[in-house]
Amino acid sequence: MAGSDPFGHRFADQGLLAQALTHRSAGAPHNERLEFLGDALLGLVAAEALYQRFPRADEGALTRARAELVRESTLARIARRLDVGPRLMLGPGEMKSGGHRRDSILSDALEAVIAAIYLDAGFAACRIAVLAWLEPELEGFEINKVGKDAKTRLQEWLQGRQRPLPLYELLGESGDEHARTFVVACRITEPALASEGEGGSRRAAEQAAAAAILEQLEGPR
């Protein structure tokens, strides 16, 4: 991978990039330690970008916005844009189960690449690359609309009107042990509404179901 690559950085040490793209299922050296370092670097760059872009935002709004920027689904979207999936080194089991498409694996690899750039060329180079990745996410970003998660918002909507709290029910789960899919129903009684949500964890499925109920309650936002 000579010359400039899709990550916006020319690696002097190609071994660092190779390690960053190696999942633990493919053996050592893998990317878990790099992921740990990259997570911290990403948090710093994202915090600085938000601090500079939104000079009037308070700490709470900035904290919520940073959480939105560095969440797994956002990082996986960036990783797909950078074509990380086809570059991953995975073990046979992960390859067979489509690990190169999984949000958790993609987001972890992206954080590892951040650390690899930092170790290869220092913080300035790392910051430049990461800011370029974040720019499409920040374009049109409305910090005051980044709020609490769907379950919290739904609960507060109901409590504010002195109505019964929602009920969540696990309807089913499927898939391999390392790639489960959960389906959850969310029901409220006043008004009588029900919706289903799906996710890679029970919590994620509950959030999706709550978000669907909120859409019905609040209409287009």
Pairwise pLDDT comparison (5 vs 114), residue with the higher score: 114
Whether 155 has a pLDDT exceeding 80, the answer reads yes
User: How far are the Cα atoms of 22, 32, 55 from residue 11, in angstroms, in the given order?
Assistant: 16, 19, 34
The model's confidence at residue 19, banded by pLDDT at 50, 70 and 90, is very high
pLDDT tens-digit series, residues 36-78: 999 999 999 999 999 999 999 989 889 888 988 898 888 999 9
Tell whether residue 111 is among the known ligand binding residues: yes
Q: What is the CATH topology of the domain spanning 150-218? A: Double Stranded RNA Binding Domain (3.30.160)
Whether 2 has a pLDDT exceeding 50, the answer reads no
Sheet holding 167-174, edge to edge: 167-174, 181-189, 192-199
- 199's enclosing H/E stretch is strand 192-199
Pairwise pLDDT comparison (83 vs 180), residue with the higher score: 83
Q: Where are the domains of the chain?
A: 14-145, 150-218
Q: What percent of the chain has pLDDT over 90?
A: 62
Q: Tell me, what's the pLDDT at 140?
A: 79
Instruction: In whole angstroms, give the CA distance from residue 66 to residue 79.
Output: 18
Instruction: In whole angstroms, give the CA distance from residue 110 to residue 119.
Output: 14
Whether residue 191 has a cis bond before it, omega within 30° of 0: yes
| Burial of 137 (C-beta count, 10 Å sphere; 0-12/13-18/19+) | middle
The model's confidence at residue 3, banded by pLDDT at 50, 70 and 90, is very low
Residue numbers annotated as active site: 39, 111
Whether 175 has a pLDDT exceeding 70, the answer reads yes
User: Quick one: tokens of 220?
Assistant: 């287009």
Q: Tell me, what's the pLDDT at 148?
A: 67
Q: Tell me, what's the pLDDT at 183?
A: 94
Class in CATH terms, 14-145? mainly alpha
CA nearest neighbour of 89 among 99, 81, 80: 99
- 183's enclosing H/E stretch is strand 181-189
pTM: predicted TM-score of the whole model, two decimal places: 0.68
Q: Tell me, what's the pLDDT at 219?
A: 62
The mean pLDDT value for 97-105 works out to 87
Pairwise pLDDT comparison (112 vs 97), residue with the higher score: 112
The model's confidence at residue 100, banded by pLDDT at 50, 70 and 90, is confident
Average pLDDT, the chain: 89
Whether 142 has a pLDDT exceeding 70, the answer reads yes
